């Protein structure tokens, strides 16, 4: 149903010009990752601000760690889907490709994407609350809260309510948006947080294309809506781009 729109988009995308893809929870939902929390589960009783804020962590680090451990265990079962994999292949075709994601589940890097800006951090990175050193860990833990070797508390290196964006990452994201020729906005529907600010940076010069199941709050800001699951439309777009791109000898 999107065939014509996707073919036109494939024609308009110049693989030698900067391409930005901005992703949100929708692309992960197709991998079975529940958005933020399971409304029927144990964690539904808790306020998100309690589980994902510096104040909540100071008040009850054990509770916060149990919540993140449950999410890590759930995410260990999740696999990248065809939408994630299409973005890996698209990156390989493009000379200047930036993937900006709001997701903390690490599925883009698990799929093989290289130039990824994880704006909200990653649930697979741990940070020492004393030294601020960070590292990748896919460990599951037995006792909570989790401590660093130095004795200080560890925390997940994700952006919590009320915290500032990582400045270096934010600058790189803004810069990528400012020079983009095309921006694909995938699976993010709200103008919350950083999305509207990023789209503002690109709206003057770039073609903005929304990939969402239905029209959303960002539709008015975008030039085109490709309605439907990204796990279908992104591989289709990739195929059209590949068919117009001469293979390298």
Q: Active-site residue numbers?
A: 120
Nearest distance, CB of residue 14 and Zn ion, angstroms:
47
Residue with smaller CB distance to Zn ion, 11 or 130: 130
Residue with smaller CB distance to Zn ion, 42 or 135: 135
Residue with smaller CB distance to Zn ion, 64 or 86: 64
Residue with smaller CB distance to Zn ion, 58 or 130: 130
Nearest distance, CB of residue 151 and Zn ion, angstroms:
7
Residue with smaller CB distance to Zn ion, 84 or 155: 155
> Checking DSSP bridges between strand 224-227 and strand 207-212, what pairing results, if any?
parallel
Nearest distance, CB of residue 149 and Zn ion, angstroms:
6
Nearest distance, CB of residue 141 and Zn ion, angstroms:
16
Nearest distance, CB of residue 131 and Zn ion, angstroms:
5
Residues of this chain that bind Zn ion (CB under 5 A): 128, 130-131, 148, 150, 152
Q: What is the DSSP string of the chain?
A: --HHHHHHHHHH--TTS-EEEEE-HHHHHTTTPPSSS-TTSGGGGS-HHHHSSHHHHHH-HHHHHHHHHHHHHHHHT----HHHHHHHHHHHH-SSEEEEE---S-HHHHHT--SEEETTEEEEEEEETTT--EEE-----SSSS-B-TTSSBEEEEEPPTTPPPPHHHHHHHHHHHHH-SEEEEES-----TTHHHHHHHHTTTSEEEEEESS--TTGGGSSEEEES-HHHHHHHHHHHHHHHSPPP-
């Amino acid at each position: 149903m999107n065939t014509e729109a996707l073919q036109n988009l494939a024609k308009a995308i110049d693989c030698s010009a900067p391409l930005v893809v901005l992703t949100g929870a929708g692309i992960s939902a197709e991998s079975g990752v529940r958005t933020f929390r399971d409304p029927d589960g144990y964690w539904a009783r808790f306020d998100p601000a309690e589980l994902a804020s510096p104040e909540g962590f100071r008040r009850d680090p054990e509770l916060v760690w149990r919540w993140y451990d449950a999410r890590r265990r759930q995410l260990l079962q999740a696999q990248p889907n065809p939408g994630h994999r299409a973005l890996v292949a698209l990156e390989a075709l493009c000379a200047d490709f930036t993937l900006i994601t709001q997701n903390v589940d690490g599925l883009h890097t698990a799929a093989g994407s290289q130039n990824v800006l994880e704006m909200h951090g990653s649930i697979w990175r741990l940070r020492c609350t004393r030294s601020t050193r960070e590292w990748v860990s896919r460990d599951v833990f037995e006792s909570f809260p989790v401590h660093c070797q130095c004795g200080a508390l560890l925390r997940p290196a994700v952006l919590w309510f009320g915290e500032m964006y990582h400045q270096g990452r934010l600058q790189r994201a803004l810069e990528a948006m400012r020079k983009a020729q095309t921006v694909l906005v995938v699976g993010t529907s709200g103008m919350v947080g950083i999305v509207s600010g990023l789209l503002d940076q690109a709206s003057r010069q770039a073609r903005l294309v929304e990939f969402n199941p239905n029209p959303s709050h960002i539709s008015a800001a975008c030039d085109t809506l490709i309605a439907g699951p990204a796990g279908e439309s992104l591989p289709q777009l990739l195929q059209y781009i590949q068919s117009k791109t001469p293979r390298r000898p």
